[in-house]
Amino acid sequence: MRPVISPRIWLLVAVLPLLLTACSPTREIARRNTATPSATEAAPLDATTRTVIQTAKSYAGTPYKYGGTTRAGMDCSGLVYTSFLAADKTLPRSSSAMAQTGTPVDRKNLRPGHLVFFSYNTAGKVGHVGLVIQVKNGDAEFIHATTQLGVTTSWLSDPHWDSRFVKAIIP
């Protein structure tokens, strides 16, 4: 005599594979979550840009000091100025003067080594600068010096920085 399989077991056998595949991410979702960086994000850095970024990163944690350009204290434009000087490239000393140099670049086309500028007033006058150190998933991470945290990194998409963004340049 053959064993009798109940209709419930048949239903379970038929539906279980569908339930298991319905709960797993689709290939498209998996592809989106593990997307490789775009060509601009993955492009190798030239020696000058590498030097500038490595120098800036070496100041991480340095306390803020207005007008500072040393490990004892650093302000935002001092960090950028000193980092570029390490690569034998001279920039103006203030963030507002830096913003008047270089080639403007669209925010969507940022790359490591570009400078991003911010304003703290409604007139849009530049008062802060950061150095882009990486671009990931269309968002730029930049290093800068803040009064509260000293030399630190932030993402351009952070609401605080996003709302204060003025422009970006290729120095």
Give the residue numbers marked as catalytic. Answer: 76, 128, 144
d(CA 133, CA 111): 8
CA angle 147, 153, 155 (to 5 degrees): 115
Phi, psi (5° rounding) for residue 92? Answer: -60, 160
Name every residue whose Cβ is closer than 8 Å to that of residue 128 and which is 6 or more positions away in sequence.
76, 95, 117, 118, 119, 120, 144, 164
Residues 6+ apart with CB under 8 A from 165: 107, 116, 117, 118, 156
- H or E element at residue 116: strand 115-119
